[in-house]
Homo-oligomer: A and B are copies of this chain.
């Protein structure tokens, strides 16, 4: 009899323990669901804001809206940003594969540098992904480390363009006098080797808008007889103005806006 009671006691204790465990699981899940609903609502606005920015409907803008912080952080750090770059590079390569190259070495391509070839996400992490205003001193200190990592998708694009016979021009708004050397080294260390020319902002273009400066440079390149087939940048100001190239490609960047 005593043995039977003991067995029953053990069964009841065991069942009670399992019950408690499962109840905890169900409650935890409920909590996750409530959190998810809040995240979904904030995500909905973040998605809309980002679409407006990427289609250039929202300019000019100075900082990422506070309520988009979580969304932009997840977008950049959670894999979607890099996935977007990969898919766009696929579209670019599909276009590039259909171009009939003349074989005279004058088929050209233009790539922007910052947040196109190499990434400033490390700096922007420290500026809450663009929610905090741009700080030129901290940014310069970051650039001077020469440690901007390559965007893997764009590096693949860079290599394939060169392999296919395009002359690749890297065109950046970075100041030639102060940032030239470090930029050359950074690009080389990150595997950007074999480009036709790296063009930094020389004294005569100082103070000009990106649209004006980059248009003038592209005009010079065309003036030399190059045919610009593609033009890739993360800012609309890379892709507006004159001598744009036969096609332009906008890479995502919800962290900052350059006019």
Q: Which residues of A contact B (CB under 8 A)?
A: 8, 11-12, 15-16, 18-19, 22-23, 25-26, 29, 44-45, 47-49, 51-52, 54-58, 79-80, 83-84, 86-88, 91-92, 249-250, 252
Partner of A57, one of B48, B58, B91: B91
Note all chain B residues with C-beta closer than 8 A to A26.
22, 25-26, 29
Contacts of A12 in B (CB 8 A): 8, 11-12, 15
Chain B residues contacting A51 (CB-CB under 8 Å) are 51, 54, 84, 87-88, 252
- Report the bound CA distance from A44 to B44 in whole Å: 15
On chain B, the residues within 8 Å of A92 by CB distance are 57
Kindly identify which residue among B19, B45, B54 contacts A54, using a CB–CB cutoff of 8 Å.
B54
Contacts of A252 in B (CB 8 A): 51, 55
Q: Do most interface residues of chain A lie in helix, strand or loop, or is the interface mixed?
A: helix
Q: How many Å lie between the Cα of A49 and that of B87 in the bound state?
A: 7
Q: How far is the CB of A32 from chain B (nearest CB, A)?
A: 10
A80 to chain B: which residues have CB within 8 Å?
Answer: 44, 47-48
Residues A250 and B55 in contact, CB atoms below 8 Å apart? yes
CB of B249 within 8 A of CB of A91, answer no
Contacts of A45 in B (CB 8 A): 83, 87
Inter-chain CA distance A150–B183, complex, in Å, is 52
B-chain residues with CB within 8 Å of residue A52 when the two chains form the complex: 84, 87-88, 91
User: How many angstroms between the C-alpha atoms of A45 and B90 in the bound complex?
Assistant: 12
In angstroms, Cα B228 to Cα A103, docked, is 44
A18 to B19, alpha carbons, bound, how many Å?
7
Q: Tell me the nearest residue of chain B to A15, going by C-beta.
A: B15
Q: How long is the Cα–Cα vector from A92 to B54 in the complex, in angstroms?
A: 15
Contacts of A79 in B (CB 8 A): 44
Q: List 8 A-B contacts (CB under 8 A).
A: A8-B12, A15-B15, A19-B22, A22-B23, A29-B29, A48-B88, A51-B252, A57-B88
Smallest beta-carbon distance A14→chain B, Å: 9
Distance in angstroms between the alpha carbons of A49 and B80 in the assembled complex: 11
Q: Does B15 lie within 8 Å of A47, measured CB to CB? A: no
Q: How far is the CA of A29 from the CA of B18 in the complex (A)?
A: 17
- Contact check, A83 vs B8: say whether CB atoms are below 8 A apart: no
List chain B residues, Cβ under 8 A from A23. Answer: 22
A151 to B56, CA, bound (A): 21
A-B pairs, top 8 by smallest CB distance, nearest first, are: A22-B22, A48-B87, A15-B15, A55-B250, A48-B84, A57-B249, A48-B83, A57-B88
